[in-house]
Amino acid sequence: MKNIIKILPVLIILISCQKENFNITNLNNNKISALGHGGMGIASVYPLNSFESILNCLSIGADGTEIDIQMTKDSVLVAFHEEKLEHVTNKSGNIFNKTWAEIKGATYKEPLYGNYQVVTLDEIFSNTENVTKYTFFIDCKNFNPDTSAFYLNTFNNSLIKIIEKHNLSNNVYIEMKRSDIIGSLRAKKPNWKIFAYHYFDQAMALVNEFQLQGIVMSFDKITKEQVLEAHNNGTMVAVFNTHSKSKNIEAIEKNVDFIQSDKLDHLIKILN
């Protein structure tokens, strides 16, 4: 009995130190890119898409991060997830109804005493050291119901301008849901990596219609077989909503190409 008590802690340490071995086969050179979800994810003390959250994510060794963007009335791309400012900041209204001058200085409500501010995509890229060594998934949140050609052009031109300004055309993957915006961007940039953000069947339909490079969805809405089906079609797969260690592992075992994780430190550790 005494021996068992002596050996038990050693066994626990050995088991906890055991490295996970994954046999990854995908379209990303058989490697899964570990990305942050809006930076450090939803459970972080830093607000989603805040510059602090994104810097934190990159500083711990992530391959890059997903960033949500929305366009203001004066065509500025703002890094912001929610439909309305009042959900998480001290200002109110829709971003598409406001100018950047009206939004600038908005601070996130959480954490208490945090005082972290809403920032633009341009500010993030301009102030990230060695920005071209990272991968960015730009999730286009087009809450603006406007479907006019003018709006589509303005949105896509703003996006193209910033990405080209920072020489990030090869590092950026664009996530889009609306077919009108996808069609408009595809016409302007035939070689850009655009991912359809939808349920599997709808996403694959958009991929085939616009010759997109990939699909993106919640990790629990796609099976391992569907990932294989997408890969057989030459389509890459990015997933999000991995909030825990077990969900990270589940996503890896599906052989996806990119994981936008909310448990990023764990994902980086097990993939490296």
User: Which residues would be at the binding site for other proteins (CB under 8 A)?
Assistant: 45-46, 51-53, 55-56, 59-60, 90, 109, 111-117, 119, 123, 126-127
Cβ of residue 102: shortest distance to other proteins, in angstroms?
16
Asked if residue 251 lies in contact with residue 43, where contact means CB atoms within 8 angstroms, the answer is no
Cβ of residue 113: shortest distance to other proteins, in angstroms?
4
Q: Rounded to whole angstroms, how far apart are CA atoms 251 and 97?
A: 37
Q: Rounded to whole angstroms, how far apart are CA atoms 45 and 56?
A: 11
Kindly give the pairing relationship between strand 77-79 and strand 64-71.
Answer: antiparallel
Among residues 55 and 203, whose Cβ is nearest to other proteins? 55
Q: Rounded to whole angstroms, how far apart are CA atoms 197 and 239?
A: 10
Cβ of residue 270: shortest distance to other proteins, in angstroms?
19
Cβ of residue 202: shortest distance to other proteins, in angstroms?
37
Cβ of residue 210: shortest distance to other proteins, in angstroms?
36
Cβ of residue 264: shortest distance to other proteins, in angstroms?
13
Among residues 55 and 230, whose Cβ is nearest to other proteins? 55
Among residues 105 and 234, whose Cβ is nearest to other proteins? 105
Which letter does DSSP use for residue 47 in this model? P
Of 154, 192, 187, 152, the closest CA to residue 173 belongs to 192
Cβ of residue 252: shortest distance to other proteins, in angstroms?
24
Among residues 57 and 251, whose Cβ is nearest to other proteins? 57
Asked if residue 195 lies in contact with residue 214, where contact means CB atoms within 8 angstroms, the answer is yes
Among residues 40 and 236, whose Cβ is nearest to other proteins? 40
Both tokens of 238, joined, read 């990015």
Both tokens of 196, joined, read 């359809």
Which letter does DSSP use for residue 193 in this model? E
Beta bridge mates, 172:
136
Among residues 89 and 260, whose Cβ is nearest to other proteins? 89
Residue whose token pair is 């996530």 = 175
Among residues 90 and 153, whose Cβ is nearest to other proteins? 90
Q: Rounded to whole angstroms, how far apart are CA atoms 199 and 177?
A: 10
Q: Rounded to whole angstroms, how far apart are CA atoms 120 and 76?
A: 7
